[in-house]
Chains A and B, each alone.
Chain A
Amino acid sequence: MLVTGKKGVRRIVLKTFFALPLLLLPAGCGGFSFQAIGTALLQEVGVLPGKSVFDSAKGLLNATRDLTREEEYYLGRAVSAHILTIYPLYEKPELTAYVNKVGLTVASESGLPETFGGYHFAVLDSDEINAMAAPGGFIFISRGILELMPDEDSLAAVLAHEVMHVAKKHGVAAISQDNMTRTLSALGTFAGSLNCSELIQQATTVFGGAVKDITDTLVTSGYSRTQEREADLGAVDILYRAGYDPYAMEVMLQLVEGQSGKSSGGWFDTHPPASERLKMVRNYLEKKNIPHISAGKDKRRERFLRHVGSVSLAGAARSGRSL
Chain B
Amino acid sequence: MKRVLFFSLAFYLILISAAPLPAEEQNVGGDKTVYVEVKESRIRAEPRHWAKTLKEVHFGDALTETGREKGWVVVKLENGRQGYIHESAVTTKKVLLKGKGAVTGSSADDVVLAGKGFNKEIESNLAEKDPTLHYKDVDKVEKTKISADELKKFRDEGKLNK
Is A284 in contact with chain B by the CB < 8 A criterion?
no
Is B80 in contact with chain A by the CB < 8 A criterion?
no
Closest chain B residue to A82, Cβ basis: B133
Task: Bits for B5-37, please: 1 = Cβ < 8 Å to A, else 0.
Answer: 100100110011111101000000000000001
Binding site for B on A (CB under 8 A): 6, 9-10, 13-14, 17-18, 21, 32-39, 41-43, 48-53, 55-56, 59-60, 66-71, 73-75, 77-78, 80-82, 84-85, 88-89, 91, 93, 96-97, 100-101, 104-105, 108-109, 111-118, 120-122, 138, 152, 187-188, 190-192, 195, 200-201, 203-204, 207-208, 211, 241-244, 295-296, 299-300, 303
- B106 near A39 with CB under 8 A, answer yes
Given the known interface contacts A48-B106, A96-B144, the answer about A38 and B115 at a Cβ–Cβ threshold of 8 Å is no
Given the known interface contacts A36-B104, A187-B117, the answer about A41 and B16 at a Cβ–Cβ threshold of 8 Å is yes
Closest chain A residue to B129, Cβ basis: A204
Report the bound CA distance from A93 to B49 in whole Å.
24
- B134 near A242 with CB under 8 A, answer no
Given the known interface contacts A50-B106, A208-B126, the answer about A114 and B38 at a Cβ–Cβ threshold of 8 Å is yes
- A114 near B88 with CB under 8 A, answer yes
CB distance from A172 to the nearest CB of B (A): 11
The interface residues of chain B lying within 8 Å CB-to-CB of A191 are: 103, 113, 116-117
Task: Bits for B82-125, please: 1 = Cβ < 8 Å to A, else 0.
Answer: 00001011000000000000111011111011111111111101
The interface residues of chain B lying within 8 Å CB-to-CB of A296 are: 158-160
- B108 near A120 with CB under 8 A, answer no
- B158 near A32 with CB under 8 A, answer no
CB distance from A38 to the nearest CB of B (A): 4
- A97 near B115 with CB under 8 A, answer no
Binding site for A on B (CB under 8 A): 1, 4-5, 8, 11-12, 15-20, 22, 37-41, 49-50, 59, 86, 88-89, 102-104, 106-110, 112-123, 125-127, 129-130, 132-135, 137-138, 140-142, 144, 146, 150-151, 154-155, 157-162
CB distance from A108 to the nearest CB of B (A): 4
CB distance from B38 to the nearest CB of A (A): 5
Report the bound CA distance from A36 to B159 in whole Å.
54
Tell me which of B39, B138, B146 has the highest count of chain A C-beta atoms within 10 A of its own C-beta: B138
- B22 near A50 with CB under 8 A, answer yes
- A56 near B133 with CB under 8 A, answer no
- A190 near B138 with CB under 8 A, answer no
The interface residues of chain B lying within 8 Å CB-to-CB of A96 are: 144
- B37 near A77 with CB under 8 A, answer no
- B133 near A85 with CB under 8 A, answer yes
| Residue from B103, B134, B140 within 8 A of A36 (CB atoms) | B103
Report the bound CA distance from A45 to B118 in whole Å.
34
- A303 near B158 with CB under 8 A, answer yes
Give 8 CB contacts A-B under 8 Å. A35-B102, A38-B20, A42-B16, A70-B112, A81-B127, A112-B88, A116-B37, A244-B160
Report the bound CA distance from A71 to B142 in whole Å.
16
- B107 near A59 with CB under 8 A, answer yes
Closest chain B residue to A139, Cβ basis: B141
**Which 7 A-B residue pairs are closest in the complex by CB-CB distance?**
A296-B159, A50-B106, A38-B19, A33-B102, A84-B134, A243-B160, A51-B107
- B157 near A299 with CB under 8 A, answer yes
- A39 near B1 with CB under 8 A, answer no
Given the known interface contacts A97-B146, A114-B38, the answer about A71 and B117 at a Cβ–Cβ threshold of 8 Å is yes
The interface residues of chain B lying within 8 Å CB-to-CB of A211 are: 126
CB distance from B119 to the nearest CB of A (A): 6
The interface residues of chain B lying within 8 Å CB-to-CB of A18 are: 8, 11
Given the known interface contacts A17-B8, A101-B146, the answer about A38 and B132 at a Cβ–Cβ threshold of 8 Å is no
The interface residues of chain A lying within 8 Å CB-to-CB of B116 are: 187, 190-191
Tell me which of B18, B107, B113, B119 has the highest count of chain A C-beta atoms within 10 A of its own C-beta: B107
Additional pairs, 20, CB under 8 Å, beyond known A84-B138, A97-B146, A242-B161 = A13-B4, A14-B4, A32-B103, A33-B104, A34-B18, A41-B15, A74-B122, A77-B138, A105-B154, A105-B155, A112-B88, A116-B38, A116-B39, A120-B144, A138-B141, A201-B125, A203-B117, A204-B125, A295-B162, A296-B158
